[in-house]
Structure 1
């Protein structure tokens, strides 16, 4: 088995979910009596809240290098938003960063999806680090909610979901956004926040949903077992 280095801490709830999923998926291959080699480095969430891109890039590069030195053969960033550092960090390390957009794009392409609605916090929805890879590598377009809905979505993610709070109000809001994205032509929805699949279940909507955390965890497991 190959060793994965995990960068967590954007939300400790997210880090736990990644660790759990990777081990659960791996156990289906090697059995419950064994587990894959994982190295976890958890970053203080305050770093992301400062929104200092230079500081964030520097910290993630330093962390990736430490994991590389510790024996990691690939890096998994345990959340959507921190993938904003990919273009800065990847060229400066020798092991691959398994990108969450690649995990999502492969699944979407397999389902024949062409236009995906993207839900998450403000940096994830308005940034290019997911749409760019989806278009370049998979020819899949991405659309986001209307401008006036983005601050509210961000607030639900940052003040509720990442704190382990899953309110009915938040659920209804995101279901409404999914319906609006469908009206704009989306044939699938990216649940681009680790906690969103815990809030929105597949049976809640009548459109394919792509839970990025699950897909990313599966990508990690495939790497561990050379699949």
Structure 2
């Protein structure tokens, strides 16, 4: 098996989900008698709350380089938003940086989806590291909530979900946003916050839900088990 470097901590709840799912899925393939070699570095979530791109880029590059030096053969960030550092980090390391939007785009392509709604925090929805990647590499259109709802979504993510609180009001809000995005033509919804698949389930709405966490984990497992 190949050694995978994990950058977690934003939040630690999502990091646990990644670690657990990677181990479970590899175990399903090779048997429960063994588990994959993983190197985990957990970053203080306060870095992301500061929303300083220069500091974020510098930190993720430093951690990625240390993981490479420690023997990692690829890097996975256990969250959506820190992928804003991808364009800065990937050219400066000698191992693959497995992009969460690449995993999402492959699944959307498999399902024949061309117009997707995107839910997450403010940087994920308004930035280009998810939507721009999908547009450039998969020729897909990405819709986000109306401006007045972006702040509400960000508040739920930052003040509740990343702190382990999964409340009925949050579920009601995000379910409503999915319906509004569908009314605007979305054929599927990207759950672009690692905690959203914990809050929302497939039976909450009758349309494809692309849980970036689970798709990213699948990509990670495929890498670990690849020749």
TM norm. shorter chain > 0.5: yes
Q: 1:87: Cα distance to partner?
A: 0.4
Partner of 1:35: 35
Partner of 1:171: 171
Distance 2:109 2:28 in 1: 25
Q: 1:138: Cα distance to partner?
A: 1.2
- What is the DSSP-based 3-state SS (H/G/I as helix, E as strand, rest coil) of the residue aligned with 1:72? coil
Partner of 1:202: 202
Partner of 1:212: 212
Structure 2 residue 115 is the aligned partner of structure 1 residue 110: no
Which stretches of structure 1, 4 residues or more, deviate above 6 A after TM superposition? none
Q: 1:136: Cα distance to partner?
A: 1.4
Gaps of 5+ in 1: none
Distance 2:22 2:3 in 1: 12
Distance 1:79 1:145 in 2: 20
Distance 2:74 2:41 in 1: 13
Partner of 2:185: 185
Distance 2:141 2:33 in 1: 42
- What is the DSSP-based 3-state SS (H/G/I as helix, E as strand, rest coil) of the residue aligned with 1:189? strand
Distance 1:198 1:47 in 2: 23
Q: 1:139: Cα distance to partner?
A: 1.3
Distance 2:58 2:137 in 1: 27
Q: 1:122: Cα distance to partner?
A: 0.3
- What is the DSSP-based 3-state SS (H/G/I as helix, E as strand, rest coil) of the residue aligned with 2:55? helix
Partner of 1:55: 55
- What is the DSSP-based 3-state SS (H/G/I as helix, E as strand, rest coil) of the residue aligned with 1:39? strand
TM-score of the superposition, structure 1-length normalised? Answer: 0.99
Partner of 2:92: 92
Distance 2:169 2:55 in 1: 34
Q: 1:132: Cα distance to partner?
A: 1.3
